[in-house]
Copies of this chain bind each other. A is one copy, B any other.
Amino acid sequence: MTTYSRRKFLDTMKLGAGAALGASLLTIPTGTALASVPYFPKPRQGKKLGIALVGLGYYAKNLLAPALEKTGECYLAGIVTGTPSKIPEWKEKYNIADKNVYSYDTFDKIKDNPDIDIIYVVLPNSMHKEYTIRAAKAGKHVICEKPMALNPAECREMIAACDKAKVKLAIGYRLHSEPHTQEIMRLKREKDFGAVKLVEAADGFKIGDPTQWRLKKALAGGGAMYDVGVYCINGARYATGEQPIAVTAQEYKTDPVKFKEVDETITWQMEFSSGAVATCTTTYAASTERLYVAYEKGWAELRPAFGYGPIKGKTNKGEMDIPHTIHQALQMDDFSRCVKENKESPVNGYEGLKDLLVVEAIYKSIGSGKRELVNPV
């Protein structure tokens, strides 16, 4: 175990975007509250970039804002909200100046605010396109939460808008900055166990409140697939390093009232040109969360694989002794360095588009009952 894990982890950190963290990340006991996880980024490059969060829901409040107290390259500089009652608490807690607080109506004026370098769109899926494009037009770099948008056409519009405005775009794939996930990428790249043959990926949970936006098609685009199914698609893609060429997919519904508008459970299979196969499950009906990769000569498993942590991993050689990290802090620092160094993010708009192309093929296959090709990028 120890021979495997620590060395590999340090190797990983040297290679990936997380390299900056070096050996200063500490191992955190399982179950530790996020706020107590130490975070020691590398020496800052120039000034901290200012981030404005657009949408102050659960994820912004409980994950992104606390992570921005740990980041080294960026900080929480502004907020955009449609709920004025939320403003005083945020202003006080994060010392946000009045001039950095926007409503959705005043949002476009953010272009004149030099405090804001990056806009993080944390709105319901159907609003991703509009706010990413408005942010780009304001000349700000953008992080847009996953799924990138409702369909590939929207993704292409967003990419084009950011290209035109010469701003960087990243999708909120925090796991690409997470060390266990980076080890899965390294195993693919360095072929410790040979070529990838099979991926099993699942992500699902029993969803609560039947009135939430995630169950409304107009806001969410779809159900479990749009919410957590994209983690399986993305996971199979970083495990294989390939975009799938074809899919088959099946939908199941046991509660047609709660899931009147969106999918409850979808299983799907993806074919890669290397011959690798991925079999995936997403559901709002029960708990499942795992990424398993079988290679010619071994296997690796992350379980949990996609949540906010701690991620846990093992291979046929033993446990991965890789520390728990604050994914969102790593992610936002990684993107901030891309902005500062004028480099494309590894999780740019095309990374989001590729997932939506697969989502498109999955729903097409559910409709046709047949194998469907994934449209090219």
A residues whose Cβ falls under 8 Å from a Cβ of B:
197-198, 200, 202, 204, 206, 248, 250, 252, 254, 265, 267, 269, 271, 275, 277, 279, 281, 283, 285-288, 290, 292, 294-296, 298-299, 316, 369-371
Contact = CB atoms under 8 A, between A and B. Distances in A.
A40 to B, nearest CB: 33
Contact of A287 (B281, B316, B370): B316
A233 to B, nearest CB: 15
Main secondary structure of the interface of A (DSSP, over half): strand
Contacts of A283: 197-198, 294
Copies of the polypeptide in the assembly: 2
B299 A294 contact: no
B281 A286 contact: no
Contacts of A287: 294, 298-299, 316
A298 B371 CA distance: 33
A200 B200 contact: yes
Given A248-B250, A275-B254, A296-B206, A197 B269 contact: no
Contact of A198 (B288, B292, B370, B371): B288
Q: Which of A277, A286, A295 has the most CB of B within 10 A?
A: A286
A74 B113 CA distance: 85
A275 B288 contact: no
A241 to B, nearest CB: 17
A298 B288 CA distance: 10
